[in-house]
Amino acid sequence: MPYDEGKAAVGRPSPTPGLKGILSTVGGTPLIELERLVPGFTSRVYAKAERFNPGGSVKDRSALSMVLGRIRSGELVPGRSTVVESSSGNLAIGLAQICGYFGLRLICVVDARTTEQNIRILRAYGAEVEVVTQPDPETGELLPQRLRRVAELLARIPHAYCPDQYANPLNSLAHQSTMREIAEELGGEIDHLVLAVGTTGTLSGCAEYIRTAGLRTTVHAVDAVGSRLFDSPVSCARLVPGHGASVVPPLLDPSDADDVVHVTDLECVVGCRRLVRREAILAGGSSGAVVSALERLAPTVRPGSNVVLILPDGGDRYLDTIYDDAWVRERFGEVFHLWKEPDRGPGGGALTGPRGASRTTGPVTRKETVLC
């Protein structure tokens, strides 16, 4: 169908002026105050719930920004152009919905870790899916192989465009609006912002808005143990997608983060399970990482502060993994006490690792905080 800008959805102002239909609902997600997440915490905690974007995640913002800019410039033409991108899940789904709306062909390169549910969603939107199964022989990672396949497709298909979420400044630009929405709701009073990092688009966009607006906000980037983004203390395979990366993206500016917290797959699971038990919010793996990072940071936060968590997506795409007891038991053992036992002291007290070793909360130092 031809692209035609018009009015937003009836009864709801569009965060992206000029759009109509389902895409007019990208952005403008709710900011929810969480009262039960960290027992005894003396500051206010808010969650920016990005699952309320129409494609179900924060990646809808990036996808719309990267595609809409090319459509408005005339570089993407329905019926002629093809969008080709590498994504393990959420960005792919955002692109599939957006390309479907605008009548653009989409080829999405995923890998063997992509869930069958996500592949079915992509195909339901009309996207073509290519699955990479063999890892890169040098690094053992799947992402380099996905990127090679994208390059091959771009070279072969006429009028092909790769949004390249890892390098496209429109990815970062989209998240200046994310931070603007938060700042407007809280009158600019945001003491701490806690967010997961992958392509680092959310990090760079939020950090840029904070600098431009002159906000006094400490930015905590939540990375995965085993990731290459912020000098992970150990190298290990990662089970939970959505944050961390095996390739350092061009968008990354380490100075955008005032502090970095590294979390393990187990902490992601624990954070997700605690979030749904205490706040009835079913969230995805990177949201669990953010929750676990908050518990680590809580003892260092000045009482009366405003702390904002960005929760990137919902948990309905993780029902076969993070929320499946058999999956958790097979990979981590009997760890269910970590979210069923009462917390000990402010901020949840000591955390316990997969072998039952207790870890007390120590001081937070820039780019050195580790949960493992």
118-169: per-residue pLDDT in tens?
A: 899 999 999 999 999 888 888 777 888 998 999 999 999 999 999 999 999 9
Residues 200, 225 share a domain = yes
Greater confidence (357 vs 1) lies with: 1
Question: Among 28-37, 75-84, 228-237, 313-322, whose mean pLDDT is lowest?
Answer: 228-237
- Tens-digit pLDDT profile for residues 158-210: 999 999 999 999 999 999 999 999 999 999 999 999 999 999 999 999 999 99
Across 204-223, average pLDDT: 97
Co-location of 90 and 190 in the same domain: no
Give exposure, 296-313, as e/b (b: 16+ Cβ within 10 Å): bbbbebeeebbbbbbbbb
Percent of the chain, pLDDT > 90?
70
**Same-domain check for residues 175 and 274:** yes
Q: Is residue 319 part of a domain?
A: no
Task: Collapse the DSSP code of 267 into the 3-class scheme (helix H, G, I; strand E, B; otherwise coil) and give the result.
Answer: helix
Q: Are residues 28 and 93 in the same domain?
A: no
Task: Please compute the mean of the pLDDT values over residues 344-351 and round it to a whole number.
Answer: 43
Mean pLDDT across the chain: 86
Q: Kindly report the pTM of this predicted structure.
A: 0.85
Q: Are 179 and 241 members of one domain?
A: yes
For residues 111 and 146, membership in a common domain is answered with: yes
- Check residue 234 and give its pLDDT: 65
Structural domain that includes position 116: 77-158
276 in a domain, yes or no?
A: yes
Q: Do residues 130 and 114 lie in contact, with contact meaning Cβ atoms separated by under 8 Å?
A: no
Pair of tokens at residue 296: 């680590």
7 found inside a domain: no
Highest mean pLDDT among 3-17, 35-49, 130-144: 35-49
Residue 349 covered by a domain = no
Boundary (domain end) residue, out of 257, 277, 311: 311
One domain for residues 218 and 102: no
Q: What are phi and psi of 108, to 5 degrees?
A: -110, 125
Q: For residue 50, is it within any domain?
A: yes
CA distances from 221 to 62, 65, 199, 206 (A): 18, 22, 12, 11
pLDDT at 233: 65
Q: Identify whether 330 is part of a domain.
A: no
Comparing 133-137, 257-261, 281-285, which segment has the lowest mean pLDDT? 133-137
**Structural domain tally of the chain?**
2
Q: Is residue 352 part of a domain?
A: no
Q: How far apart are CA 232 and CA 228, in angstroms?
A: 6
In a domain, 336, yes or no: no
- Report which DSSP code applies to 276: H
Looking at per-residue pLDDT, the higher value among 148 and 352 belongs to 148
> What pLDDT band is residue 364 in, cutting at 50, 70 and 90?
very low
**8 pLDDT exceeds 90?**
no
Domain termination residue (choose one: 116, 131, 158): 158
In this predicted structure, what is the pLDDT of residue 345? 47
Last residue of a domain, one of 263, 283, 311: 311
**Could you tell me if 178 and 268 lie in one domain?**
yes
Residues 90 and 220 in one domain: no
218-224 and 192-196 as β-strands: parallel, antiparallel, unpaired?
A: parallel
Q: What is the CATH number of the domain that holds 133?
A: 3.40.50.1100
- Mean pLDDT of the region 90-112: 94
Alpha helices in 136-168 (DSSP H): 143-156
Give yes or no: residues 134 and 113 share one domain: yes
Per-residue model confidence as pLDDT tens digits over 18-27: 788 999 999 9
Same domain, 82 and 208: no
pLDDT (tens digit per residue) in 56-71: 999 999 999 999 989 9
pLDDT at 89: 84
Lowest mean pLDDT across 128-132, 147-151, 273-277, 357-361:
357-361
Angle at 245 between CA 321 and CA 213, to 5 degrees: 110
Q: What is the pLDDT averaged over residues 314-327? A: 94
Q: Are strands 82-86 and 44-49 parallel, antiparallel or unpaired?
A: unpaired
If asked whether residues 36 and 172 sit together in one domain, one would say yes
